Amino acid sequence: MEFLSFIKSCLYLLEEKYQLAFEELKSIVAKSDAPKEAYILVGSVLRKNGEYRKAIHIHESLVGDKSFDGRLNKILFFELVKDYKESKDYEKSLYYANKLLAIDKSPVVYKYIYKLNLLMKNYDEAFKFLEKYQKITKNNYAKELSYILYEKYMATDKKDESLLKKSLKIYPENRASNMAFYDIVFSSGKKTKIIETFDDLLKREVIKTEKDLKKFENDFFAMGLFKEFESAIFRKVAQMTSNPVYTVYCASMFKKKNNSEKAREILVRYLSDIGEKRIVKNRLLDILLPEELKMKFKSSDIYVCAGCNNYFGEYSEYCPVCGQIETLDFA
């Protein structure tokens, strides 16, 4: 009967029926000779069911059990790492991750410690453990390492420009670091340097939103450089770049100048020659449709994540669903 209950609990787990899995496992651990693994599994099922305190209580009660060998302690500590992480007690989760690391040098342990330190804003430790994880797995985590340095830069009151430079050296396409570096250049007031830095951002295709371009427009206008800004954007459109934000922005500029025909022309050219992007279709509908019909046909979600394939209305460096970095692009 014990074996049958165990099999049934496993099947329920696969079906994500955690309460039923818990009931089957409870019947096993009720026996005095129940295997220790069953107790650990009960706690794990409770965690998956969102009952974090109960899971922690069961797993903590097993810590220090003298009958546990190295294998069981590894399993137990890892479950406690996950228990506390899910309950958002990152400090306690990190405590058990370090205990686990003392007996298990598996790559996944380094990954957990990196992520926990990042959640706790321990940027130096997060960077150190991600570097170790990268070395062990021989995978490239330049993007993630670069963003740790950016997060550290943003978290400090006294901004350390060297962090941005190091961030961009590791991963030159880091959008957030590039934008922050531009702000430093703009604050210098050196017009030639501002134009050069902006041109570099255009070449790198760092700009992903109309809000970005509006910021640059305001900056260039304040510096008496609006013509230079406008010319740069028109050049991008003439180059038939796949990034639709320049075409959409130019269309808006023409519409403000009461030249809806020119705005329509460049939007249609993009859609026919480059690709059908939702943001371009939306702007064309703004021009062609009466106000009462616009919201009926426009798409609210103009970005899609290459990692999880979810759609979003606004751009973010981190995917709001899967958390991957710079995986959002125009849908």
Number of domains in the chain: 1
The answer to the question of residue 135 being in a domain is: no
Those residues with Cβ within 8 angstroms of residue 60's Cβ, 6 or more apart along the chain or in another chain: 80
Tell me how far CA of residue 77 lies from CA of 40, 167, 307, in angstroms: 10, 34, 30
Question: DSSP label at 298?
Answer: S
Those residues with Cβ within 8 angstroms of residue 292's Cβ, 6 or more apart along the chain or in another chain: none
Which residues share a beta bridge with 36? Answer: none
pLDDT at 12: 60
Which residues share a beta bridge with 2? Answer: none
Give pLDDT < 50 ranges for the chain.
Answer: 1, 32
pLDDT in tens, 153-195: 999 988 999 999 999 999 999 999 999 999 999 999 999 999 9
Extract the tokens encoding 112: 């957990």
pLDDT at 284: 93
pLDDT at 65: 86
The answer to the question of residue 215 being in a domain is: no
For the stretch 221-253, what's the b/e string if a residue is b when 16 or more beta carbons lie within 10 angstroms of its beta carbon?
A: eebebeeebeebbeebbeeebebbbbbbbbbbb
10 Å CB burial of residue 176 (0-12, 13-18, 19+) is buried
Give the residue from 196, 143, 147, 137 showing the smallest Cα distance to 171: 143
**3-class DSSP assignment, residue 292:** helix
Those residues with Cβ within 8 angstroms of residue 115's Cβ, 6 or more apart along the chain or in another chain: 126
The answer to the question of residue 318 being in a domain is: yes
Give the residue from 62, 44, 64 showing the smallest Cα distance to 54: 44
Q: Please tell me the distance from the alpha carbon of residue 84 to that of residue 317, in angstroms, as a whole number.
A: 27
- Domain of residue 316: give its range: 300-331
**DSSP letters for 114-173:** HHHHHHTT-HHHHHHHHHHHHHHHT---HHHHHHHHHHHHHH-SS--HHHHHHHHHH-TT
The answer to the question of residue 314 being in a domain is: yes
**3-class DSSP assignment, residue 223:** coil
Handedness of CA 48, 50, 51, 53 (dihedral sign): positive
The answer to the question of residue 306 being in a domain is: yes
pLDDT at 1: 46
**Angle between helices 175-188 and 142-155 in degrees, nearest 10:** 40
The answer to the question of residue 328 being in a domain is: yes
The answer to the question of residue 330 being in a domain is: yes
Q: For every residue of 66-83, which 3-state class applies, written as one string? A: CCCCHHHHHHHHHHHHHH
Tell me how far CA of residue 28 lies from CA of 41, 124, 142, 149, in angstroms: 11, 45, 47, 49
Handedness of CA 301, 303, 306, 308 (dihedral sign): negative
Q: Are 278 and 289 in contact (CB under 8 A)?
A: no
pLDDT at 57: 87
Extract the tokens encoding 47: 């965690």
pLDDT in tens, 160-171: 999 999 999 999
pLDDT at 113: 98
Give the residue from 198, 220, 277, 213 showing the smallest Cα distance to 250: 213
Q: Please tell me the distance from the alpha carbon of residue 112 to that of residue 94, in angstroms, as a whole number.
A: 8
The answer to the question of residue 310 being in a domain is: yes
